[in-house]
């Protein structure tokens, strides 16, 4: 794979969207990833809650190669992180702060986006070498207002809010200072997939990217 750490981070920042694939079956997950890529989004995060997630990652890499920047989500330990990287994942995402996972990702020179919520967790993640920090669950703590509050003391740390992100709140998160947003079920509609309506997910993905682009073009309140 030709994805360097710098190139991976550049794409995440440029697109401003990390689509999260959390599906009940490997087949659903693969279809969802295909739909996201068909929507011209070159990033897809497969979570470890997907059955046989590692095999799904391998298939995505085999089918699309460098066309997609593949992430592994819901990583809880360094052993799973390593397995995901060996399967072709190019970045690691955790739901909570795990210093051993950050260390493992750094060893492999791959981006790590650990989950954190409190100021203490955020700074701990950043000092440990996190490239971006996932603020999860962001919605219940005030959504965009929480991101804006955090950017006050931590302007140098890049945040990716997760939880409470939808088409309506995406512009608010970007204007509040988020480097990107991560979206799961609001983007990946399993019902639409099973009805053979993959194009709905592709269209939705484009809408999110456009929402990010528009928000960046008109910063402010």
DSSP alpha helix (H) spans, the chain: 5-15, 26-38, 53-64, 78-86, 99-107, 119-127, 144-151, 170-175, 190-194, 198-217
- Rounded to the nearest angstrom, the gap between the alpha carbon of residue 101 and the centroid of all alpha carbons in its chain is 16
pLDDT at 209 over 70: yes
Listed residue (88, 58, 39, 28) closest to 209, CA to CA: 39
Query: How much is the average pLDDT of 163-175?
Result: 97
Residue 97 has pLDDT above 90, yes or no: yes
CB 88 within 8 A of CB 59: no
Candidates 34, 59, 110, 134; catalytic one = 134
Rounded Cα distance, 76 and 95, in Å: 8
C-alpha distances in Å from residue 32, one per residue of 12, 193, 200, 208: 19, 7, 11, 16
How would you class 154 by CB atoms within 10 Å of its CB: exposed for 0-12, middle for 13-18, buried for 19 or more?
middle
Distance (Å, whole) CA 84 – CA 123: 26
59-79 average pLDDT score: 97
For residue 44, list its beta bridge partners.
Answer: 70
User: Is residue 1's pLDDT more than 80?
Assistant: no
- Sheet (strand 69-73) strand order: 112-113, 91-93, 69-73, 43-47, 17-21, 181-183
Q: Is 134 in the active site?
A: yes
Question: Is 45 marked active-site?
Answer: yes
Quickly state the pLDDT bin for 121 (edges 50, 70, 90). very high
Among the listed residues 34, 45, 158, 172, the single catalytic one is 45
Q: Which CATH superfamily is domain 5-215 in?
A: Aldolase class I (3.20.20.70)
> In this model, does residue 2 exceed pLDDT 90?
no
pLDDT of 181 higher than 80: yes
Strand pairing of 91-93 and 112-113? Answer: parallel
Residues 6+ apart with CB under 8 A from 162: 20, 115, 134, 135, 136, 137, 138, 181, 182, 184
Note the pLDDT tens digit of each residue in 39-57: 989 999 999 999 999 999 9
């Amino acid at each position: 794979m030709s994805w360097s750490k710098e190139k991976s981070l550049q794409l995440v920042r440029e697109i401003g969207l990390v689509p999260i694939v959390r599906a009940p079956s490997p087949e659903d997950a693969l279809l969802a990833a295909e739909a996201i890529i068909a929507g011209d989004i070159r990033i897809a995060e497969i979570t470890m809650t997907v059955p046989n997630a590692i095999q799904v990652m391998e298939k995505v890499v085999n089918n699309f190669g460098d066309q997609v920047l593949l992430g592994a989500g819901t990583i809880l330990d360094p052993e799973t992180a390593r397995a995901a990287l060996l399967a072709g994942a190019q970045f690691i995402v955790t739901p909570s702060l795990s210093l051993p996972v950050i260390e493992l990702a750094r060893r492999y020179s791959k981006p790590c986006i650990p989950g954190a919520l409190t100021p203490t967790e955020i700074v701990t993640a950043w000092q440990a070498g996190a490239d971006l920090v996932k603020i999860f669950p962001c919605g219940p703590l005030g959504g965009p207002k929480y991101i804006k509050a955090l950017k006050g003391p931590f302007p140098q740390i890049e945040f990716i809010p997760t939880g409470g992100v939808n088409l309506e709140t995406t512009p608010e998160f970007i204007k509040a200072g988020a480097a990107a947003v991560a979206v799961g079920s609001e983007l990946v509609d399993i019902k639409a997939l099973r009805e053979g309506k993959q194009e709905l997910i592709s269209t939705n993905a484009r809408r999110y990217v456009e929402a990010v682009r528009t928000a960046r073009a008109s910063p402010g309140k």
